[in-house]
Chains A and B, each alone.
Chain A
Amino acid sequence: MRGVETAGTMLQMRPLHITPSVVTTWGIMLALVFFSWAVGRRLRREPGPLQAALEGAMGAIDDAIRAVLPDHVERILPFIATLWIFILLANLTGLIPGLQAPTSDLSVTAALAVLVFLSVHWFGISIEGITQYLRHYLTPSPLLLPFHIISEISRTLTLAVRLFGNMMSLEMAALLVVMVAGFLAPIPLLMLHIVEALIQAYIFGMLALIYLAGAIQTRALHSPSEKG
């Protein structure tokens, strides 16, 4: 922990110490809030180019969620859409000189993974009921309970480490190329950064959506065997 304080602490308010990742996150949040407020005031029946693009993005997110969870789109959409938007913007902030992508910080990706872990249980219990939800850990056999638990922990871990590893390695590779090859050489790598940012955001959000679907649809998955 001491290493973190000396290397990354921007503001020290004991016992809290604010890292650049948190500050960047706040910046992203502020930008998003201001953008949402500005856009929300100007929504019209006849959309302009920006509104059309936003509606297209929202429609794509809505369609993606509806394809997996058609009955719970309204409840799931804010969480999944925010994951996609935030991770995408956080990944892309690494392109701005002097800023570090928050997603290259393991604390941030771990926080997001834990949020996904918690949301899976939250939505699962609230929609399915606690008994029905917990029952799926014991099916098809109670002997599989340890494996279910290990699966829950491991997939949360992989969520956090995958995003963190990809973004940190990408930034590190870009830094090394700049140091070795000069100023203009890493431009293709920056293009790769954009693609990687999109892909990682999509993967993280899609995996979260699939985990949520797995938790919410346990009744549907197990009801045929129960009936049998």
Chain B
Amino acid sequence: MELDWTTFTLEILNFLVLVWVLKRLLYKPILKVIAERKAEIQKTLTDAESLRKEAQALRDQYENRQVEWTRAKETARNQMVEEVNAEKVRLLAELQTSLEQDRAKARVLEQRRLTDLTRQAEDAAIAQAGQFAARLLTRLASTELEAKLVEVMLEDLRLIPDERRQAIRIACVKCEVPAIVTSAYPLSQSQRQSLLEALQSLLDRSVSCEWREDQDLVAGIRLSFGPWMLGANLQDELKAFSETARSVSATHAS
């Protein structure tokens, strides 16, 4: 229990020496290592924070790009829809035009077909009318009818105007062959004489005639001299009737 001053003094010195030694050999190195580690950790944390910020920036950038991409996609989609709609409208218009053209073409074809049918019907009607008239006139054909037609011929020869007479004379001036007179029935002598005189009066010179008979004329006569020919018979009249009716029908159709 007593206090030993030597021990007391030495313990004070020992403790001070121990403090100094431990400070140099133990505390400082350990605290230095801890401080370095803390600094390293702090640096790592700082780097991590900077990396996190960079990652955040990249993420923001990516999100912005995604938004821009979405917007561009939406714009492109709208544009595409507009183009599709415009193309649809254009194709519909083209289709409408094509349909109109087809309809017009069909109308034209139908009209043409109707015209053809009408023409065929008219031709058939004309043919039937001609045949009907031919059958009727064939049944009415007789020497009396032919005598009347000879008179018509003589009347026509007399009524030819002077200019026409002059032209016929010029055309037949070098014609040396006899005039051919074709009749459906045999002509009487008086009828032949009247026809010869009327023909010589027309040509103003002497002319010989060759008298022929042709049952196809049905009734009446046909007079031909060189290039000039004059008819007063049912066959030629029916033929002229058919041609006239056909030309009138063609004029109406066009």
Contacts and interface: CB of A to CB of B under 8 A. Distances in A.
Query: Contact size class for B?
Result: 20 to 34
Contacts of B16: 115
Contacts of A86: 15, 18
Interface string A80-114: 01100110000000000000001001111011101
A29 B1 CA distance: 24
A45 B2 contact: no
B1 to A, nearest CB: 6
A94 to B, nearest CB: 16
A22 B17 CA distance: 13
A58 B22 contact: no
B33 A43 contact: yes
B27 A111 contact: no
Q: Which of A39, A40, A51, A62 has the most CB of B within 10 A?
A: A40
A111 B8 contact: yes
A21 interface: yes
A111 B4 CA distance: 10
Interface string B4-18: 111111111011111
Contacts of A115: 12, 15-16
Interface in B1-43: 1-12, 14-19, 21-23, 25-27, 29-31, 33-34, 36-37, 40
B18 A77 contact: no
Contacts of A21: 7, 11
Contacts of B29: 39-40, 43
A26 to B, nearest CB: 7
Main secondary structure of the interface of A (DSSP, over half): helix
Interface stretch (A11-19, A138-146, A186-194): A11-19
A78 B15 CA distance: 11
A36 interface: yes
Interface residues of A, number: 47
A150 interface: no
Nearest to B21: A33
B192 to A, nearest CB: 158
A1 interface: yes
B27 A78 contact: yes
A108 B21 contact: no
Contacts of A32: 18, 21-22, 26
Contact of B15 (A18, A40, A45, A112): A112
A67 interface: no
B41 to A, nearest CB: 11
A188 B224 CA distance: 175
B10 A22 contact: yes
B160 to A, nearest CB: 147
B40 A4 contact: no
Given A40-B29, A115-B12, A1 B34 contact: no
B15 A111 contact: yes
A108 to B, nearest CB: 5
A142 to B, nearest CB: 32
B34 A22 contact: no
11 contacts: A4-B2, A18-B10, A22-B6, A25-B11, A36-B26, A43-B33, A58-B27, A82-B22, A110-B8, A111-B15, A114-B12
